[in-house]
Structure 1
Amino acid sequence: MTWTQKTITLPPKTKGSYLVTDEIVSQVPEIKNYKVGMANFFMQHTSAALTLNENWDTDVRADMTDALARIAPESDVYRHSCEGPDDMPAHIRSSLVGVSINVPIKDGYLATGTWQGIWYLEFRKMRHTRKVVVTLQGEERS
């Protein structure tokens, strides 16, 4: 059993849902070294999220952004607003979606379904650089 761990950076984005599968895979070429295993992607932030979802229709990402805004809207009802009106709603959305995902590795590739991709959801209006810790575990290819 082999382990690999590294921290990668996602580019600064404004509020929205972004498909980042190819970007992540390009920063983690070590995935190709695994015959079978598991990849964990953990975002080190509390106002953004990672999820696995639709990778084809961009309307799904726009709809997700809109739905999360309805669930946790910006307003003045929150006690925590140190960084502005989008501060607490961003924390709520991050908790609802989650900051980590696990994806199986099969023969050197992420074993996602046909229509699945890794999304980076940014919940803040101001652009932030986001760090993701990637941990790979599994059996190496021979």
Structure 2
Amino acid sequence: MAIFTQELRFSTRGEIDLVDITREVEGVVRESGIQNGHVVVFVPGATGAIVTIEHESGLLEDLKRTLRELVPKSANYLHDRIDDNAHSHLRATLLGASECFPVVDGRLMRGTWQQIFFVELDVRPRHRHVIVQVVGE
């Protein structure tokens, strides 16, 4: 069994910035040379998330609006006594820090309209990195 790990690095524009990383993840899978297994896409951090969603502008705006409605910025959170980003942490917890995809015949398997996005949930622009690990044969 082989393991291939690579980091993706990029900058974000701040709160609820959506960065499509699908092509980059596909590139890591190709570069790994692994034909069959799985790939995990993981963000180390408490205010970022990895999601799959169709890359359609209306749907992306719907996601942003839904996050704002589900976890509003100002809701008297206890964590805000320490920092001003409790809502960022809570949104990240709801979305999750990773996704796992099958690799079959050297290709990342995903639905026709299923793209992989990093979601910036912190209140300010950040320099981010995402770990992509391919495991298999």
TM-score bucket (shorter structure): 0.7 to 0.9
Q: Deviations over 1:74-113 (max 9, x none)?
A: 11511112332xx000100100000000011122221111
Seen in structure 2, the aligned counterparts of structure 1 residues 30 and 88 have a Cα distance that, compared at 3 Å, is same
Name the % identity: 26
Contact map agreement 2:29 2:134 (CA 8 A) in 1: no
CA distance in 2 between partners of 1:101 and 1:28 (Å)? 14
Quote the Cα distance in structure 1 between the aligned partners of 2:26 and 2:129: 14
- Partner residue in 2 for 1:108: 106
TM-score by length of 1: 0.85
Listed one character per residue, the Cα deviations across residues 10-44 of structure 1 (whole Å, up to 9, x for unaligned) are: 3223222232212343466524x121110001100
Measure the CA separation in 1 of the matches of 2:5 and 2:24: 17
Size of the alignment, in residue pairs?
135
Aligned pairs for 1:7-18 within 5 A:
7-15=7-15, 16-18=17-19
Q: TM-score, normalised by structure 2?
A: 0.88
Instruction: Mark the runs of 5 or more structure 1 residues left unpaired by the alignment.
Output: none
Distance 2:41 2:122 in 1: 20
Moved over 6 A (4+): none
8 Å contact from structure 2 (residues 6, 133) kept in 1? yes
1:49-60 alignment, distance < 5 Å: 49-55=49-55, 57-60=56-59
